[in-house]
Structure 1
Amino acid sequence: MLAIAGFVWLGMPVSRSHLTESGMRASLSKAGRLLRTVRYLRPGQISDRVARRLRAAPKVGGPVPPLRAVTAGWTPCAGRSPSLVGPSRFRFLAREADLDGLAGWNDASMPKLWLYNLHYFDDLLADGAATRQAWHLALVDRWINDNPPLAGNGWEPYTLSRRIVNWIAAALAGLPLDEKARESLARQTRALAGMLEFHLLGNHLFANAKALIFAGAYFSGPEAERWLNTGLAIMARELDEQVLADGGHFELSPMYHALILEDAIDLVQLAAVYPDALGRAAADQDWAGRAARMIDWLAAMSHPDGEIAFFNDAAFGQARNLAQLCAYAGRAGISAAPSPPALAHLADSGYVRLREGPWCVFFDAAPVGPDYIPGHAHADTLSLEISLAGARLITNTGTSTYAPGPEREAERATSAHATVELDGANSSEVWASFRVGRRARPASVSTKVAGGALHARGAHDGYRFLAGRPVHARDVRVTAGAVSIVDRIEGGGRHAAVGRFPLHPDVDRVEQIEGGFRLVMPDGRAVRVAVAGADALAIEQGHYAPEFGICRPRPVLVWRAARDLPIEVTVEFLA
């Protein structure tokens, strides 16, 4: 809502006394940011937000549909660490708490994401789940008793989707769910079917569709067929849109890619459990083929240590790693032996991997994500990560929290990434927890092998709103002996550029020397960093967020240059 006459600004009443010049400027700035954000939404997202406020709550009552006959059991993907550490004690996001010590399943003193994890029931499929079966059955019963339909975090569509899949997969793996639990599953699926997340789309709608497919296959009868058909129809559309031609997930987060890949393998396995219900859809929608391409993409975006690179929202511990997913795919009959080439340009996603000698470099020449759902984007365009001899050297910050506040804002900011910040601004206008206003657009992306080196180049226009409409371009060159990065800022006027190279916390020593820096890796290998074209160098303090709830201090190599454009700075890592 935007109305000066009624003194209402974006839905907030404003008194005449508050309409100072500075206050008006601040309000206009916020209004502009909001408009730059919502202009990319699809009409269906907006209409569904309105409809969700107007439609009646879904009816969840009804008879329990009969179960469908199975032809095989369920084998979960290995590698999920247990989160249930006692009969009612949980550990999520590096924080441990006992349900008996909380104010119920929706304790407002706990972080929202922690509570979501509590309602997911992921531990039902974690390593060693069979040894905790009695705890699991008691918690299923307790959840049903404590969470009446449509009340609390556990009845939101995404938590419903995760829990429905986990309960059904656990039942197929041998967890003896009773009639009460099956009745609750039917109620949960009816609730989900009545509030699918068309206002969000992306990985949320994918999870909704997967849950409907699981429930529609697990149960039988007319109602189950409706769930199944709805889920399959959505899945067909979403697979076409969300899995890019190069195998990447369109939200361009390696972490979410791995989560969606596990979902795809789950669907392949479910089709083997229920071949009559799902065999044709699995073939028509090419579940196995898409999963194989997604494995190839994940291999290209995994460091030599086997774990994901940190671009956009990313953290360890949320998704299975490459080796675990390859093993899971193999058990599902999907051929998975990925071997990325030395120069891998994932053109549909925008990422580039360059590997030569002891170096492995990941270069982000990608958009921040789909325009209508960039919620997991960071302002990290043209950032890079580097491993040397299998150990991480340069890393982006990662993600420790989704909670709104300074930490979330800092971890999404350009300054938290191995790229160039101009005039203290973010290259994409990230704000709140999951919002993006203006966004950087990559351009002139190219790769080549020439002169005994691997090359990648890209530019972006994320600073076009600044005076002189500056453009940042980055060239990356990798040989067996060195990684060279040339940053060039072109445009008009005087600007202050800051280039950052955040070091992995395990780098043993770092010191500033004439014309650059000297580092010592954990294995004792010395690395010299030569910098040319900067006005000043420094070693500053930053933090590394390898998992949700965890922040580790680490040094950041920094160069600064403030002058009329163009500015060109070269940084070379030599080992």
Structure 2
Amino acid sequence: MSIVSLYWNTVRYMKPSQVYYRVRKTLGMECSIGCEIKPISVGNEKLTLIAQMEKLDFDPVFLARFPVEELMQDHVCFLHQSRKFSWDEPWYFPDETPLWNFNLHYFEYLFPLVEAYRRTGNRMYYEKIKTCVEGWIKNNPRSAGGNGWAPYTVALRLTNWLSCFSYLYETVREDKVFYDRFINALYEQYVYLSGHLEKDLLGNHYFEDLKALILCALFFQDEKVLSRVLLEFKKQCNEQILPDGMHFELSPMYHKIIFEGMLRVAAALRAANVPDLEIEKHLQPMLDAAYSMEYDLDRLPLFNDCGNNVAKSLEALCEEAKNKFHLLPVFKKQFPNAGYYILEENDVRVIVDAGEIGPQYLAGHVHCDALSFEVFFKGKPVLVNCGTYAYQDALRPFFRSTLAHNTVRVDRREQSSCWGTFRTAKRQRCRCLEFSGNLLKAEMTDQANCKVIRTVELRGSKLTVCDHSRSNQLLEAAVHVVPCARLFELEDSVQIEGIGTMTFSGERKREQMPYAPEYGAKKDCAAWIVSEKGSLSFSLTIASI
């Protein structure tokens, strides 16, 4: 496609408001919430501490990402990349990706230090927290802009600072100089965010902006802003959270992140004696969706942009939902609005994506994964999609491509035209035709309007996948095996040691492809590409049942 065609077929799906606010942003104009922030006088201000979410803030899986010993030695590690950092230097590493640098400004690494200080009472952990926060305040003035003042990083940092402050309030209150500096920095970022909302992007970015403003409005007792932002937040909840509970960007990872944000907002409103049932009504279906997609599995299923080292653990989310709202998850096998379906027999679980790409106006996290599936045996992944790895990387186009997923394409053409880092031009459409628990039948129409019908059936110990072209065109499908498996390729089949046997119809070839179940870490996996005109079939017979 020509560059003009790419832009046209990307922009034409956007909301007019997105284009309008993108122009405003380009011209350096503000995008505000529509009302003034309440002025404060530090020292005389009235504050309301944000509700503590200990199961989330001190989730052991989350804390393990930032070993306290390394932080005390001034080492930070994000996305499997560790760096030495003195805190009193520019908060930017030119040889790291924008996402890595964004993580530096999120301040998630404060929580292991807070936990260590609460557990031991050792003052050195508190002093390190001060060093981190004061280093940011000193080296990231608003006038300098940069990653630290991107609205998304401001929103996440505000949320994390408010949470940490709730645990350290008594200690910080006695530390007058640091207290004043900290409250002033919080307030300055609150004011800034209120005028730099990401209405040009919408989706999870806009959600995070509004979430942070709600928490700040509660913290600073800013009732006018709280009332205004809550109205917009609830509108976004009704749009972004599908009736079946999934977040509309259809990433299992981002779903968990948004669910955490919903829990935080709902708990903070309850703690402030202003509970909101319109927000809380979304919690049970969101909990059910998170639980159903991951329960009893070693990792999240890899659909769209997704990795296993970003969101909080399922266990922590379930515990907080139970503790704060008395909610228990319900396992479901179908999410028709999102297009996810689960086939389960004995110890085998197959998760299939048979839905649309998500909101047409927001396709930045989309992959060419329509009709793709992942297979888990006794909770461990066996047949896998390739994952995400990184956003700003030369491998980004591969990880979004059709052949990076256990799915099919027509005439060697991508299902959707994914380009740039977060752009999608012409795109596929997908719909479920039939689902009966053990059988799923769905149709995908690719960017050139060519149709494929895929049937996925799980009976006893055998998974069968059949593809059919309505116009007898060349079909090409990929199947990827998790890297740790030992494989034996025979003339008519492929054996996976300890699992079972795969068979294919059509011409097949083996390739090595990168596999990234976590952001920032990849290894090679074996993949088989099979091709045939008109129809294809694949089967996996589990031998260990």
Instruction: Give the TM-score taking structure 1 as reference length.
Output: 0.85
The Cα of 1:303 is off from its aligned counterpart by: 5.7
In the alignment, which of 436, 439, 443 is matched to residue 448 of structure 1? 436
The Cα of 1:299 is off from its aligned counterpart by: 1.7
- Partner of residue 46, structure 1: 19
Deviations 1:441-496 (A, max 9, x none): 013532015xxxx1001111115x2xxx531111011122111111112225x53x
Deviations 1:225-270 (A, max 9, x none): 2332232122111110011110000000000000001111111221
> Are residues 266 and 126 of structure 1, via their aligned partners in 2, closer, same or farther at CA, if it must alter by over 3 Å?
farther
Q: Which moved more, 1:55-64 or 1:145-154?
A: 55-64
Partner AA of 2:530 in structure 1: W
Q: Retained in 2: the 8 A contact 1:303–1:360?
A: no
The Cα of 1:95 is off from its aligned counterpart by: 0.5
> Are residues 476 and 137 of structure 1, via their aligned partners in 2, closer, same or farther at CA, if it must alter by over 3 Å?
same
Q: Does 1:134 align with 2:102?
A: no
Q: Which moved more, 1:474-483 or 1:107-116?
A: 107-116
Aligned to 2:477, the other structure's residue is in SS state strand
- Partner of residue 212, structure 1: 213
Q: Retained in 1: the 8 A contact 2:356–2:431?
A: no
> Are residues 400 and 444 of structure 1, via their aligned partners in 2, closer, same or farther at CA, if it must alter by over 3 Å?
closer
> Are residues 360 and 320 of structure 1, via their aligned partners in 2, closer, same or farther at CA, if it must alter by over 3 Å?
same
- Partner of residue 541, structure 1: 512
In structure 1, what is the Cα distance between the partners aligned to 2:444 and 2:133?
50
Q: Retained in 2: the 8 A contact 1:354–1:360?
A: yes
> Are residues 60 and 105 of structure 1, via their aligned partners in 2, closer, same or farther at CA, if it must alter by over 3 Å?
farther
> Are residues 193 and 101 of structure 1, via their aligned partners in 2, closer, same or farther at CA, if it must alter by over 3 Å?
closer
In structure 2, what is the Cα distance between the partners aligned to 1:427 and 1:162?
34
> Are residues 191 and 250 of structure 1, via their aligned partners in 2, closer, same or farther at CA, if it must alter by over 3 Å?
same
- Partner of residue 480, structure 1: 460
> Are residues 64 and 155 of structure 1, via their aligned partners in 2, closer, same or farther at CA, if it must alter by over 3 Å?
farther
Deviations 1:482-512 (A, max 9, x none): 11111112225x53x32111111121x1122
Aligned to 1:174, the other structure's residue is in SS state helix
In structure 2, what is the Cα distance between the partners aligned to 1:199 and 1:230?
19
In structure 2, what is the Cα distance between the partners aligned to 1:329 and 1:542?
38
Aligned pairs for 1:418-433 within 5 A: 418-433=406-421
In the alignment, which of 500, 503, 515 is matched to residue 492 of structure 2? 515
Structure 2: runs of 5+ lacking an equivalent: 118-124, 173-177
Q: Retained in 1: the 8 A contact 2:503–2:540?
A: yes
Q: Does 1:308 align with 2:300?
A: yes
Q: Retained in 1: the 8 A contact 2:114–2:167?
A: no
Deviations 1:45-91 (A, max 9, x none): 01111122335569999644623345965535123134362243210
Q: Does 1:379 align with 2:368?
A: yes
In structure 2, what is the Cα distance between the partners aligned to 1:71 and 1:419?
45
Instruction: Give the TM-score taking structure 2 as reference length.
Output: 0.89
In the alignment, which of 216, 231, 234 is matched to residue 232 of structure 2? 234
Q: Does 1:334 align with 2:323?
A: no
Q: Retained in 1: the 8 A contact 2:439–2:455?
A: yes
Aligned pairs for 1:1-400 within 5 A: 29-54=2-27, 56=29, 63-64=40-41, 66-70=45-49, 73-75=52-54, 77=56, 78=59, 79-81=61-63, 82-83=65-66, 85-87=70-72, 88-100=74-86, 104-126=90-112, 129-131=115-117, 132-150=125-143, 151-174=145-168, 176=172, 178-220=179-221, 224-275=222-273, 278-279=274-275, 282-283=276-277, 285-287=278-280, 289-302=281-294, 304-340=296-332, 344-400=333-389
Aligned to 2:86, the other structure's residue is in SS state helix
Q: Which moved more, 1:123-132 or 1:231-240?
A: 123-132
Partner AA of 2:440 in structure 1: A
- Partner of residue 458, structure 1: 442
Aligned to 2:302, the other structure's residue is in SS state coil
Q: Retained in 2: the 8 A contact 1:211–1:231?
A: no
Percent identical? 26
Aligned to 2:350, the other structure's residue is in SS state strand
Q: Does 1:499 align with 2:477?
A: yes
In structure 2, what is the Cα distance between the partners aligned to 1:267 and 1:148?
28
Q: Retained in 1: the 8 A contact 2:203–2:240?
A: yes
Q: Retained in 1: the 8 A contact 2:452–2:470?
A: yes
Q: Retained in 2: the 8 A contact 1:418–1:500?
A: yes
Q: Retained in 2: the 8 A contact 1:119–1:163?
A: yes
In structure 2, what is the Cα distance between the partners aligned to 1:70 and 1:321?
25
> Are residues 71 and 424 of structure 1, via their aligned partners in 2, closer, same or farther at CA, if it must alter by over 3 Å?
closer
In structure 1, what is the Cα distance between the partners aligned to 2:355 and 2:129?
42
Q: Retained in 2: the 8 A contact 1:144–1:184?
A: yes
Q: Retained in 2: the 8 A contact 1:314–1:398?
A: yes
> Are residues 459 and 526 of structure 1, via their aligned partners in 2, closer, same or farther at CA, if it must alter by over 3 Å?
same
In structure 1, what is the Cα distance between the partners aligned to 2:18 and 2:318?
35
In structure 2, what is the Cα distance between the partners aligned to 1:72 and 1:100?
32
Q: Retained in 2: the 8 A contact 1:306–1:322?
A: no
The Cα of 1:418 is off from its aligned counterpart by: 0.3
Number of residue pairs matched by the alignment? 515
In structure 1, what is the Cα distance between the partners aligned to 2:107 and 2:41?
22
- Partner of residue 11, structure 1: none
Q: Retained in 2: the 8 A contact 1:544–1:551?
A: yes
The Cα of 1:410 is off from its aligned counterpart by: 0.5
Deviations 1:102-138 (A, max 9, x none): 9610232321111101101112234863433321121
- Partner of residue 537, structure 2: 569
Structure 1: runs of 5+ lacking an equivalent: 1-27
The Cα of 1:352 is off from its aligned counterpart by: 0.3
In structure 2, what is the Cα distance between the partners aligned to 1:55 and 1:530?
58
Aligned to 1:396, the other structure's residue is in SS state coil
RMSD over equivalenced CA pairs, Å: 2.3
Aligned to 1:80, the other structure's residue is in SS state helix
In structure 2, what is the Cα distance between the partners aligned to 1:560 and 1:112?
38
In structure 1, what is the Cα distance between the partners aligned to 2:219 and 2:428?
44
Q: Does 1:413 align with 2:401?
A: yes
In structure 2, what is the Cα distance between the partners aligned to 1:183 and 1:373?
35
In structure 1, what is the Cα distance between the partners aligned to 2:26 and 2:363?
23
Partner AA of 1:38 in structure 2: V
The Cα of 1:101 is off from its aligned counterpart by: 9.0
In structure 2, what is the Cα distance between the partners aligned to 1:314 and 1:104?
30
Aligned pairs for 1:525-536 within 5 A: 525-532=498-505, 534=506, 536=507
The Cα of 1:426 is off from its aligned counterpart by: 1.1
Structure with more relative contact order (C-alpha pairs < 8 Å, separation 6 or more): 2
Partner AA of 1:80 in structure 2: F
Deviations 1:133-190 (A, max 9, x none): 3211211111111111142211111001001111111111225261111011111011
Aligned to 1:286, the other structure's residue is in SS state helix
The Cα of 1:306 is off from its aligned counterpart by: 4.9
> Are residues 93 and 531 of structure 1, via their aligned partners in 2, closer, same or farther at CA, if it must alter by over 3 Å?
same
Partner AA of 1:299 in structure 2: Y
Q: Retained in 1: the 8 A contact 2:259–2:283?
A: yes
Aligned to 1:199, the other structure's residue is in SS state coil
